[in-house]
């Protein structure tokens, strides 16, 4: 701490005579870097970030001040701004946030939150060598999918299973392995776009398949499929509409009939489920979704995501008939799309939770959050209301309201889950002439700038914080505390 200088230094700086060349406006010349480095508040930043880094940050702030027309702040303020720059630069880019958007599986916010069991398993896999592709019984080379294949088969009734980077990769692999340079038959009502970057027709083209659309947007009949199947057909594919629903005069042939047709014509039938639940969500009071086991009853291969309703890590699963899965595994793309040991570690831990269905709701965060009763969320909102109001005093009016959470990630877009939120509104006393929109934008930005950013949702001229997904109340309030600073 030899670099600590007397606090008097900074004070002296404040007393520097202003530059006064007689003409307005009087603007103090920015102080020298050396003097700022000697400021009383600088020493602890030197210890934390190093003298070179602090010097660079001070120079950057001084440049900023020279470039802008702003009055030159005092030395303490300049040092504080430099320190804030260093702090910001030292913060990891990928960070935890509070997802209070009301969308439980929010793709932009990382989808499923993993259970503790997965965290432990990943840490173990990362910090030592593993038997990733090594068969401990024989001492010979092993197969990485072996760590989860039997588990997946038990949970879904599949004959075989493999894992790739995500569900888009699973679809790509299935198309390439089973229908390269051949036709893939898809109903016009199922040509889905998911999140802009995954469009069924585009994936087909990249996989080197020819898309053969059948039926119309609202109705596709068994005869449409029957007419289209021919010598060039590689695959018939069903795609879960995920983020939309066609209602009214709409129909698709019963899956069992379509499967019978495919068997009779010797063409495999694949189903891209998207979310693909392993359990009957209706049993938990949630809107029903076809389970992977149900889908396998009427098709040969199913593809689904590991981090949507399954509640695990980002990956894509291909499950179904052993000969078809084997074909996909032999495809060179499998090597390019394969996943890391961390993914297997996390996925295995999550799948094992499914072997204890009676504890699943408690132990699997996705299911726990999706099934939180509205009463419980409202009680939490009541409890937090005064705490949040106190921290936002003078900045926002806080109230409790009802809202609707979404499952997210394309699962069940129509059905919502009743929830409760804290609603932040511009206070009547807000004297600024800022419009409500600008006020909301500013508040949203301030909440995103917190130590653990808080992400809400703008609705009805207010910023809503849906509490369905808030488990760490203490951390949430601690982060809000920083608003006062």
Residues of span 288-347 touching ligand PLP by CB under 6 A: 305, 316
Residues of span 31-60 touching ligand PLP by CB under 6 A: none
Task: Name which of 58 and 104 has its Cβ closer to ligand PLP.
Answer: 104
CB of 357 to ligand PLP, least distance (A): 24
CB of 248 to ligand PLP, least distance (A): 22
Q: Which of 86, 172, 239, 388 binds ligand PLP (CB under 6 A)?
A: 239
CB of 133 to ligand PLP, least distance (A): 24
Tell me how far apart the alpha carbons of residues 62 and 215 are, in angstroms, rounded to a whole number: 66
204: left (phi over 0), alpha (psi -120 to 50) or beta: alpha
Q: Which of 58, 410, 456, 463 binds ligand PLP (CB under 6 A)?
A: 410
Task: Name which of 413 and 427 has its Cβ closer to ligand PLP.
Answer: 413
Cβ–Cβ < 8 Å for 309, 364: no
Tell me how far apart the alpha carbons of residues 252 and 291 are, in angstroms, rounded to a whole number: 18
423 binds ligand PLP (CB under 6 A): no
184 binds ligand PLP (CB under 6 A): no
240 binds ligand PLP (CB under 6 A): yes
Q: How many residues does this entry show for the chain?
A: 485
Q: With CB under 6 A as the contact rule, which of the stretches 150-158, 218-226, 270-278, 358-366 interacts with ligand PLP?
A: 270-278
Beta strands (DSSP E) in 293-433 are 301-305, 316-320, 397-408, 417-425
CB of 282 to ligand PLP, least distance (A): 19
Q: Which of 104, 194, 267, 317 binds ligand PLP (CB under 6 A)?
A: 194
Task: Name which of 174 and 194 has its Cβ closer to ligand PLP.
Answer: 194
Q: How many residues bind ligand PLP (CB under 6 A)?
A: 17
Task: Name which of 211 and 462 has its Cβ closer to ligand PLP.
Answer: 211
* CA 398 from centroid of its chain's CA atoms: 27
Tell me how far apart the alpha carbons of residues 21 and 290 are, in angstroms, rounded to a whole number: 79
How far from 259 is each of 2, 25, 89, 268, CA to CA, in Å?
79, 82, 56, 8
Tell me how far apart the alpha carbons of residues 45 and 55 are, in angstroms, rounded to a whole number: 10
Q: Which of 101, 103, 187, 242 binds ligand PLP (CB under 6 A)?
A: 242
What residue has token string 């109340």? 473
State whether residue 275 is helix, strand or coil. Answer: coil
Positive/negative CA dihedral, 180, 181, 184, 189:
positive
Q: With CB under 6 A as the contact rule, which of the stretches 85-93, 164-172, 257-265, 458-466 interacts with ligand PLP?
A: 164-172
Q: Which of 99, 156, 167, 419 binds ligand PLP (CB under 6 A)?
A: 167
The token pair that represents 111 in the structure block:
């989808």
Q: With CB under 6 A as the contact rule, which of the stretches 165-173, 366-374, 442-450, 475-483 interacts with ligand PLP?
A: 165-173
Cβ–Cβ < 8 Å for 276, 315: no
Task: Name which of 187 and 423 has its Cβ closer to ligand PLP.
Answer: 187
Q: What are phi and psi of 110, to 5 degrees?
A: 90, 10
Nearest to 454 by CA among 396, 382, 367: 396
Q: How far apart are the first and last CA of the chain?
A: 27
Task: Name which of 241 and 475 has its Cβ closer to ligand PLP.
Answer: 241
198 binds ligand PLP (CB under 6 A): yes
166 binds ligand PLP (CB under 6 A): yes
DSSP collapsed to 3 states, 278-302: CCCHHHHCCCCCCEHHHHHCCCCEE
Cβ–Cβ < 8 Å for 179, 209: yes
276 binds ligand PLP (CB under 6 A): no
Residues engaged in binding ligand PLP (CB under 6 A) = 166-168, 171, 192, 194, 198, 239-240, 242, 272, 274-275, 305, 316, 409-410
């Amino acid at each position: 701490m030899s670099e600590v200088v007397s606090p008097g230094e900074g004070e002296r700086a404040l007393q520097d005579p202003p530059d006064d060349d007689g003409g307005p406006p009087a603007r103090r010349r920015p102080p020298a870097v050396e003097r700022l480095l000697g400021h009383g508040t600088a020493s602890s930043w030197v210890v934390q970030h190093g003298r070179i880094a602090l010097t660079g940050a001070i120079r950057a702030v001084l440049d900023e001040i020279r470039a802008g027309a702003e009055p030159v702040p005092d030395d303490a303020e300049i040092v504080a701004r430099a320190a804030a720059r260093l702090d910001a630069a030292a913060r990891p880019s990928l960070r935890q946030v509070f997802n209070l958007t009301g969308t439980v599986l929010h793709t932009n916010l990382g989808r499923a939150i993993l259970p503790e069991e997965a965290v432990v398993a990943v840490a173990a896999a990362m910090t030592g060598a593993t038997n990733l592709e090594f068969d401990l019984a024989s001492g010979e080379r092993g197969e990485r999918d072996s760590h989860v294949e039997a588990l997946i088969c038990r949970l879904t009734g599949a004959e075989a299973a493999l894992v790739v980077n995500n569900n888009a990769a699973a679809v790509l692999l299935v198309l390439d392995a089973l229908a390269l340079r051949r036709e893939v038959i898809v109903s016009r009502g199922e040509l889905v776009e998911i999140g802009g970057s995954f469009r069924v027709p585009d994936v087909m083209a990249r996989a080197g398949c020819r898309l053969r659309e059948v039926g119309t947007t609202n109705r596709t009949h068994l005869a449409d499929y029957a007419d289209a199947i021919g010598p060039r057909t590689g695959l018939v594919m069903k795609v879960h509409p995920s983020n939309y629903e066609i209602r009214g005069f709409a129909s698709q042939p019963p899956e069992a009939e379509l499967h019978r047709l495919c068997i009779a014509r010797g063409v495999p039938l694949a189903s891209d489920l998207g979310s693909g639940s392993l359990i009957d969500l209706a049993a938990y009071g949630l809107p029903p979704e076809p389970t992977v086991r149900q889908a396998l009853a009427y098709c040969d291969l199913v593809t689904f995501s590991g981090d949507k309703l399954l509640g695990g890590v980002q990956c894509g699963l291909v499950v179904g008939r052993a000969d078809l899965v084997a074909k996909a595994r032999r495809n060179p793309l499998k090597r390019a799309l394969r996943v890391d040991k961390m993914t297997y570690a996390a996925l295995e831990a999550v799948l094992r939770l499914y072997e204890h269905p009676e504890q699943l709701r408690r132990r699997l965060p996705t299911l726990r959050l999706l099934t939180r009763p509205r009463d419980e969320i409202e009680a939490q909102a009541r409890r937090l209301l005064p705490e949040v109001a106190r921290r936002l005093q003078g900045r926002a009016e806080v109230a409790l309201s009802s809202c609707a959470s979404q499952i997210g990630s394309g699962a069940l877009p129509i059905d919502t889950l009743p929830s409760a939120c804290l609603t932040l509104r511009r206070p009547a006393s807000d004297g600024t002439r800022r419009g409500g929109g600008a006020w909301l934008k500013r508040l949203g930005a301030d909440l995103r700038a917190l130590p653990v950013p808080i992400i809400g949702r703008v609705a009805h001229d207010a910023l809503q914080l849906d509490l369905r997904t808030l488990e760490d109340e203490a951390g949430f309030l601690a982060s809000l505390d920083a608003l006062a600073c």
